[in-house]
Structure 1
């Protein structure tokens, strides 16, 4: 089958288009959170704050047993009334309602941590910075904006925990045109406190991001462990092959 050249060109541009809406704000390094307690807390935060609008349709609730949770714990703490332990993580929000309220349909978050990986950082770095850089902006329909994704359609779902913040901007000369000035981010101003301290909020966000990273590839830990053993065995086989080759050519000489 011959595909039109224009279609091929559009498909080639898809990865770049996915990041077209992102700003130039530098990404912070996401802390390593691999303990079961951190992943369990991240799963709880994900269900309580993300599944209201987003789906994770490639993940079943019962897969959370891999995080050390029992089915009873999943039912008691992580399931909505209409959901089942063996069901997918979906949202009750209808696509048409989301489109009307936010202007876009919230994306599925099943593999968001892998999808947002870029040359500027990992997917975890992207999500960690994004979730921590919301600020109050009354010019936006939702009342919120974001440094990583300017003019973002998503509201700040964890504002009660972080509190309300605004941004401080300073004017500087445009490095490309001295006759113009540009606004540069100079920090946040805390308008009202949240239920968490800044450190507690960063730790909670780290747990949430760690869970989304795990959700994108639950078997990653097993794969890495197997990879170490495969390399070890290949090294042994390569050593025996080298010794055999050395012995063979010695006899030939």
Structure 2
């Protein structure tokens, strides 16, 4: 009986994350236009991240000086992106105490260093564009991707205020289905297209931040493959020369 109880506990532990994945899989995710070779996009995304995300979230495994990999100098980083008393070589740690964050939001905001790898770029892109007004929530905001989210919509001034509207649509057989759609109720400081582009830059930067050495690793991999290809040709003809008199 004890072994059966342990087995049931293990199955329940495995079922919970699988159930969460299944529920998230039902949400339609928009394709994120990711291009980590676009340094201008990465620089714009880094600026948005520092100004809006780093107030509550940390990126404790990312150092400011790694931003030189996206075309910035250390002087530019220090003057434009280090908004606290941190040094360029420090990690991107949040200033807000964890106790205050939990008291204000009900949960401590997660570290975002590898969030793009954990959630995926498409999830982040859809999530950051999916906030809508919901008076039943403590923050006044909800999200189509993450229902009952604790995070407020920090970019609402840029995007504006969306509302979630439900419409009944009837198919050719007369069956009615509910279709939920986000509608912009109050415009923000920028147009919807500009907001989507801003989120694309932000997610692009978060993808880079989750693995900043990926570009160099891929470049080194190509060089190694080219070297091995060249060595194969040399080795092949060298082998033919050594064995040409052996029958």
Give the SS at the match of 1:164: strand
Residues 56, 110 of structure 1: 8 Å contact kept: yes
- Distance of aligned partners of 1:145 and 1:12 in 2 relative to their CA distance in 1, 3 Å threshold: same
Match of 2:123 in 1: 126
Match of 1:150 in 2: 147
* Equivalent residue in structure 1 for 2:201, among 195, 198, 207: 207
Residues 162, 186 of structure 2: 8 Å contact kept: yes
Shift in Å, 1:207 = 0.7
Give the whole-Å Cα distance in 2 for the aligned partners of 1:91 and 1:105: 12
- Structure 2, unaligned stretches of length 5 or more? 1-5, 171-175
* Equivalent residue in structure 2 for 1:184, among 165, 179, 193: 179
What per-residue deviation string (whole Å, max 9, x for no partner) do you get for residues 87-137 of structure 1? Answer: 110111221222122121111000111111xxxxxx111111111111111
Match of 1:119 in 2: none
Shift in Å, 1:244 = 7.0
Give the whole-Å Cα distance in 2 for the aligned partners of 1:248 and 1:169: 78
Shift in Å, 1:26 = 1.2
Give the SS at the match of 1:157: coil
Q: How many residues align?
A: 237
TM-score by length of 1: 0.80
* Equivalent residue in structure 1 for 2:191, among 158, 180, 197: 197
Give the whole-Å Cα distance in 1 for the aligned partners of 2:10 and 2:178: 38
Match of 2:156 in 1: 159
Residues 29, 125 of structure 1: 8 Å contact kept: yes
Structure of larger gyration radius: 2
* Equivalent residue in structure 2 for 1:114, among 94, 117, 120: 117
Shift in Å, 1:9 = 6.3
Tell me, yes or no, if structure 1 residue 31 matches structure 2 residue 33.
yes
- Distance of aligned partners of 1:247 and 1:81 in 2 relative to their CA distance in 1, 3 Å threshold: closer
- Distance of aligned partners of 1:28 and 1:115 in 2 relative to their CA distance in 1, 3 Å threshold: same
Give the SS at the match of 2:61: strand
* Equivalent residue in structure 1 for 2:216, among 218, 222, 230: 222
Match of 1:22 in 2: 24
- Structure 1, unaligned stretches of length 5 or more? 117-122, 174-180
Match of 1:42 in 2: 45
Match of 1:70 in 2: 73
Residues 34, 203 of structure 2: 8 Å contact kept: no
Give the SS at the match of 1:22: helix
RMSD: 3.0
Shift in Å, 1:46 = 0.3
